[in-house]
Structure formats: C-alpha cells, structure tokens
Chain A
Amino acid sequence: MKRRTMLAATALSLAAITGPGFAQSDWPERPVRILVSFPPGGSSDLVARLLSEKLSASLGAQFVVENKPGAAGTVAATALQEAAPDGYTFMLSNLTPFNVAPIRFPDTPYDPIADFDHITYVGTVNLALFAAPSTGLSSLEDLIAAAQADPGSYEYGSSGVGSWGHVIAEHFQNVSDTELFHIPYKGSGPMRLDFRSGVIPTMFDAVPQNLPSVQEGSAIALAVSATERLATLPDVPTFTELGYDVVAENWLGVSAPAGVPEDIKTKLDTALTEAMGSEEVVAQFDNWGLVRVPKTSAEFSDYVAGQLQQWTPLVASALE
C-alpha cells in the first residue's frame, strides 16, 4: 500500500516535470540572457535594455543584456546558435548578422533561417540619402542629373564595405543608372564627421542619428528607403514614390536558437508585445526613430526569410 502510494507520487511528480504545462507555469526560473551584437550605448543596445527591464518586471526573472560585439554581429549570432534552446538565451536580432553577413562571409557557421527561431518583431530603422547643403542639391533628381552629367564625380559615404548603406547605395546606382564614388568608413560616426566638414558631399546613413543635423539645416535628406514616408521626416519622399525600387529596413527582433519549446516562445512573445504596446515604450521608440508595425510571430519568421531572399542578390552584386 505504502509502496503503491510512493509509486503514484513519483509518477505524479514525473508528470509534473515532463508534462506540457511545466514550462508554461515555471519559465523563467533563473536569469535569461539577451545577446546584443553591438557594444553598449548604441540604439539597439538601448532597445535591448529597455525591453529587458520590462520583461524582468512582467515575467519575474532577471533579463540580462550581454553585449557580444564583433564580426558584423556574427559573433553574437554564433553564440546564440551554440546556446541550448532552453529559453534562457535570446538575441536582439537584426538585419546584418542574419541577412547580410552570411552572404558576405561564406564561412559563417550558421544558417540564418534553419538554425534559429525568430520569435518577435520589434521594429525597423530606415536608411536615407543625405546631401550637404554646400552641394546645392535639394532633391534626388538633382543628384541623379548631376551624377549622370559627370559620372563618378560625387562621392558618397557608407559605414563600411558590405554595410547596408553600401549595399543599398550600389543598388540605387544600378536602378538610377548613375555612378557615385564610394568612400567607406569604420561605422557611422567618422562618416558623419567627414560629411559635416564637407569632405564627402553625400552619404547613406540611418535616419535617427542624423535628425538633429537635418533640423539644423546642415544635412538635407533627399530620399528615405522606407515603404512609406517617415513620421520624423514627413516632407522627405521615399525612393519608391520617386520611381526607384530602393527599400532598406534595418529590422530588430528577438530570436532564439532553433528548438525552444512552443509555450516559452508564446509566453515571451505575449510579454514582449504587451511591453511594446505600453505608452512608455511607444514614446521611446518614437524618440529613437524606431518604426514599429505589429507582426505576429509567424509573420516575423517569414519576414526574416523574405529579407534574406531580397538581400542575397544585392549583397552579392555590391561586393563584386
């Protein structure tokens, strides 16, 4: 009798541990790591810190940001791929390590789609083409006309060979039948310095960090690479509406190594979506120029795969 009770108790507790309800009720039980592929301080890092603070509060376990910068984000993505899919390691994923670097570096050790679960879409930062006021250019058509009149005379800056700015600039030259002269930089900071001091007349750069210069009048945004006009630059046309198919979205999302239990993914997605709906987060995202269109988990997964399809030929042709 006694023995039977014990067996029953054992069976019950086993059921409790292995049963489907377990993770749902108990995850997270210990600190959760959020890998960030940038050094601390950048806007992606701030997004990760803001969201992990919200998740820590709503899910009752510490969400810790861990910066693993390097090699175009592939160091962080490789660490994510190698982590156990137990719901305790996630990454603030973005365009570069998942849609650009794997094409640029053929020895990248992971498959950006098959090796990961892309769980929640966070938002997007767009790229714009800026011209210095001293150039006298005030529209994209001006630049195209000037560049066609004297091919290769206009320099443009990008934040590096194989960066999204470079890839998109090469694509833009193809579709607009122009030839610009590429000056690559190590990141956006030194490029903006040279742009401001008149060394380079134009540059392709992310919108948010250039808004103060646009407001001041020291940078003119000719066109944005978004699907529709940005709330922060309502007077600036998109490339698409001017007739050039140039769209670039540096998306941010939350991804995990493939094989995380469904219920953990659901719980995380729900908590993240709720956090991103809060007034405080919406205000901060607006502040940082992060554009957010709600996407379900499945839509986000498809989106990442679609982006890879879209970027593959562009990256390959830019690096030719």
Chain B
Amino acid sequence: MDLFANLALGLETAISPITLLYCFIGVFLGTFIGVLPGVGPLAAVAMLLPVSFHLEPATALVMLAGVYYGAEYGGSIASILLNIPGTPSSSVTCLDGYPMARQGRAGLALFATSMASFFGAIFGVLVIVLLAPKLADFALLFQPAEYFSVMVLGLIAASVVSSSGALRGLMMVCLGILLGAIGIDVNSGETRFTAGIPELRDGVSLVVVAMGLFGVSEVMVSLRGATQSYAGARLSWRGFFPNAGEWRRSALPALRGSGIGAFFGTLPGTGQTVASFVGYALEKRINRNKETFGKGAIEGVVVPEAANNAAAQTAFIPTLTLGIPGSTTMALMIGALMIHGITPGPRLIAEHPDLFWGLIVSFLFGNLFLLILNVPLIGLWVRLLRIPHHYLYPTVIVIICVGVYGISNALSDVWLALGFGFLGYMLRLFRFEPAPMLIGFVLGPMMEEYFRRAMLLSRGDPMVFLERPGSAALLAAGAALLLFATFSPKQIACRIWGRKSQQGPAPRSSDGP
C-alpha cells in the first residue's frame, strides 16, 4: 500500500543516526528557546540557518523543524510557573496553568501540558500521514468568505475567554481589534494610527504585544509583592501524575483541542495562537466543568497545548506542498530548502518523497524525544520557583527585551513591549484581562482583511457570506454559539455571580489571569 511504502521511505531517512542526532539537537534547542519569554523559534531558526548550509537538505529541515515544534512544548512552562508565556501561542495556557501552580499543582500542570503537547503533535502528524495530499486541497477550499466566517466564529467564542465578566471581555476584545488596526491598510495603502512613525507602518508584532501584556506586566505586578508560598506543594513525583479522574477529564478535551489545532494549522497565516485561543474558548463553552475554567482547570491547560502543538505540525503542509509559508519562521524553512536548490511547491512530494516523508517520520521521533526530555525536567522547572524574585524577575525582563529586539533588530520594539507592559499593568489594576485583548489583536485585522477582500471580489454584495456553503455553515455555528450563550440558564447564573464578585473587595491584581 502507498501509505506504508511512504512511511517506510520516510523511516529510512529519519532513522539514520545523523538525522536522529540533528532531530534531537533541534527539539532540545526548541524546548529551551520556548521557555525563554520573547525569544522565539524565529531567532533560533535564523541562527541555525547558516549551519544548515552544510547539511543534507533533509537533515537540515528535520533540525529546523524540531526547533519550531519543540518551542511549543517549552512555551507553556513559564506560562504555568510565572504567568509569563514563553511564546504567544501559550498565552492562553496562563489562564488555568498559573492558578494551578498557585494551588501547588505546578508539577501536575507541567505533566499535563507535556502529555497534551505530545498527544496534539501525534494527532497532527497522523492527520498529515493519512491526508497529506488532500490537506493542501482542503486549504484551497477556504476562500476569503470562509476565512472571514471562521474569524467571526473565533471572536464569538473568544468573548468567553475572560473570567471577569462578558462586558469587560468584550471591551478588551475591541481594544485589541483597534490595536490590530495600526499600520498600512491593505486595501487603500493608507497608514492608520501610526503617528507618523515608520516602524509602525507594518503594525505591531504579536510577540511584542504578548510579551508586554503578559510578561512585562506580570513582573510589574510582582513588584507589589507576590507570594512564593505556593511553590513547594506537591513536589513529589506522585504529585506530578494526574489521578484517574484527571486523566478521564482530559481525554476528550485533548482530542477536541487537537482537532481544532490540526484544522487551523492547515490554513496558512492563522497559526498556533489562533488555534490555542479558539480551542480554549470553545472548550469553555461546551465543557461540563466550565465553571472551573480560569481557576485551575486541568482541561484549561490540556486544550490549548494540544491545539498549538497539533497546529505546529499541520502548518508544514501548506508550507511544503503549496510553497506558501504561514509565518516568518516557516519562510525560513523554505529558505533552508532553497539553499539546497529545492523550491517547495506542489511538486515537492512527488519530486522529493524521501525528504517529505523523512521529515514527517522525524516528527514522530522528535515528539518522542520531547516527551522523554520534558517529563524528567518537570522537577527542575518547578524548582525555578524557589529562585528569589529579585533575581528571577530582572532576568525575565532582560530576556524579554533581548527576544523582542531580535524580532527585527529594532529598539522601537523593546520600547513598545515595555509600553504594553505598562498598559497591561494599568488594565490589571482595573481588573481587565489581557487575554481577550490579545485574541482581538490577532483575529481583528485578519477578519477585516478577509471581509474587505471578499467584498471586493463580490463587488460589494454581502450575500457572498451566506451563498457559499462553507461560510454559511460557519456563520450558523457562530449564531448558534451566541444563542446558546444568551439563553443558557447556567450562563445567566454565572453572569449574576460575576456581578456580585465585582462589588466585593477588589482582590489583588496578581490574582489576575
């Protein structure tokens, strides 16, 4: 059978000791890069690119890809322990991961994310293996109208991400959308909200916003005296492992998260951050334990981690089979192949099957390495919390500044990140949460771009969104979600309860997301 022949061919490439070694180097580096807030896979892959000049193309790609998906494993570690995401796509993991750590369940949260990451990644790889040639066609079914509708669905789902009340969440989403409007308008070419600063013409980078809102502001909050008392509990190995109930609670959410992640990964340009946010938001809608979300629900770390890892794997499909990179890091993967005279595109699988299938099989090895690497490290990571804050937090700020500067070698990005840190701090003082703002920032500009493009193509006829079946189905799902939210008795109870708690004494803002 074709499938087995392909896998056998891939195994041949992936199992050579040299490839395995570089695969390990890649995922190892990726994990550590992921842990450091603000320093992302882009910087690591860019630094490794010259090394790849001297490697076989398959080996080079295996290593660079390892850095890319390895970073998704590491990204959640700082989210859970410090409330500071290592990568933008693990921002949402803060929402339940950090409360878990404060309850002394940091080890459990880290174990759950490792397992969920592994599960999501393997799910993504299986999707690629079983559907590889069809997946590219699937991405092509999505036209501007469908992209717009999927963003609408995402935003509707996102309005529940906030645990401080729907209105506050909605305000933050809108602020995020406004921030996303900074830069050159795609349709007219006019600059918007740039205050005449050329560096803002391309908008603000996602990493800058995420690191400022979550990372820098968390450090500022800690200046007011965060406690460390939660660090010690459940440090024994037994405490890391989920009990039977926790396994059971996590299984279905992990599957749903992986599915959502695999779906978003195949759409170029949406990526892991959208996948993790939408996965979390939808789960919060349908999970039986939704009241516990935001207060340390294990599902709240399992879903986004399964989603962003599944997306990291399936994102290779449009990159390799269409030659269309979904992110700058993916553009670097294409660059690594171009150095060796291979232009990724529709003929890649046919012309270089050993390279394509070798890479896919290497994903399996790489994720196995990551699991073996990450689980024993949990004890070490948890001990990070014992580092006195007056050493830890200045270090975090330095790392964030270095990482943010590295995005495009611009000092202006560092100032912006610090500015967003101050904004995030002010918002948290007034009990607004940064998570809905971030998702507004990510989805808003995309929604606008696809909406206007669909309208251009239909010459101004809005019916295009209802006439295309895919788009209509997605909009119907969004409408159902809205109705469900409005009329569910539980939701109403929740909102009344939410009001009450706002009138009570304001808790310290370090209790935030």
Contact = CB atoms under 8 A, between A and B. Distances in A.
B439 to A, nearest CB: 20
Nearest to B143: A199
A235 interface: no
12 contacts: A39-B408, A40-B46, A42-B331, A49-B50, A70-B199, A70-B410, A161-B187, A162-B189, A193-B140, A196-B140, A212-B343, A283-B341
A218 B346 contact: yes
Interface stretch (B31-39, B308-316, B332-340, B393-401): B332-340
B199 A161 contact: no
Contact of A71 (B143, B201, B335, B338): B201
Contact of B144 (A50, A186, A199, A319): A199
A213 B456 CA distance: 26
Given A75-B199, A211-B343, A190 B324 contact: yes
Contact of B346 (A107, A185, A213): A213
B58 to A, nearest CB: 18
B338 to A, nearest CB: 6
Interface in A61-88: 66-72, 74-75, 78
Contact of B339 (A46, A200, A319): A46
B328 interface: yes
In this complex, the interface size class of chain B, counting residues with CB under 8 Å from chain A, is 35 or more
B196 interface: yes
Contact of A107 (B186, B196, B331, B409): B196
B49 interface: yes
Contacts of B53: 53
Interface string B298-319: 0000000000000000000010
Given A72-B201, A184-B189, A212-B344, 8 more contacts: A40-B332, A42-B335, A183-B453, A189-B325, A196-B140, A213-B323, A213-B345, A319-B189
A317 to B, nearest CB: 14
Contacts of A184: 186-187, 189
Contacts of A50: 339
A193 B136 CA distance: 10
Interface in B172-201: 184, 186-189, 196, 198-199, 201
A192 interface: yes
Given A66-B409, A162-B189, A197-B140, A190 B269 contact: yes
B331 to A, nearest CB: 4
A243 interface: no
Contacts of B324: 189-190, 192-193
Contacts, number: 142
Interface residues of A, number: 55
Interface string B31-62: 00000000000100110011001000000000
A192 B42 CA distance: 23
A176 interface: no
Contacts of B347: 212, 215-216
B49 A194 contact: no
A67 to B, nearest CB: 6
A155 interface: yes
Interface in A25-75: 39-43, 45-46, 49-50, 53, 66-72, 74-75
Interface centre among B50, B196, B201, B409 (most CB of A within 10 A): B409
Contacts of B201: 70-72
A74 B199 CA distance: 9
B346 A216 contact: yes
Contacts of B333: 41
B187 A69 contact: no
Contacts of B268: 189-190, 193
B511 interface: no
B338 A53 contact: no
A288 interface: yes
Interface centre among A66, A160, A197, A211 (most CB of B within 10 A): A197
Contacts of A199: 143-144, 457
Given A70-B410, A211-B343, A192 B331 contact: no
B141 interface: yes
Given A183-B456, A319-B189, A216 B46 contact: no
A71 B199 contact: yes
B247 interface: no
Contacts of B408: 39, 67-70, 75
Contacts of A209: 323, 343
Given A67-B409, A160-B189, A41 B325 contact: yes
A67 B335 contact: no
Contact of A186 (B45, B186, B332, B334): B186
Nearest to B137: A197
Closest 5 CB pairs of A and B: A212-B345, A161-B189, A41-B331, A41-B332, A41-B335
Contacts of A278: none
Interface string A194-228: 10111110000000110111011010000000000
A197 B50 CA distance: 34
A287 interface: yes
A39 B328 contact: yes
Given A40-B332, A190-B268, A197-B141, A70 B186 contact: no
Contacts of A104: 189
A40 B329 CA distance: 8
A212 B323 contact: yes
A297 B82 CA distance: 56
B322 interface: yes
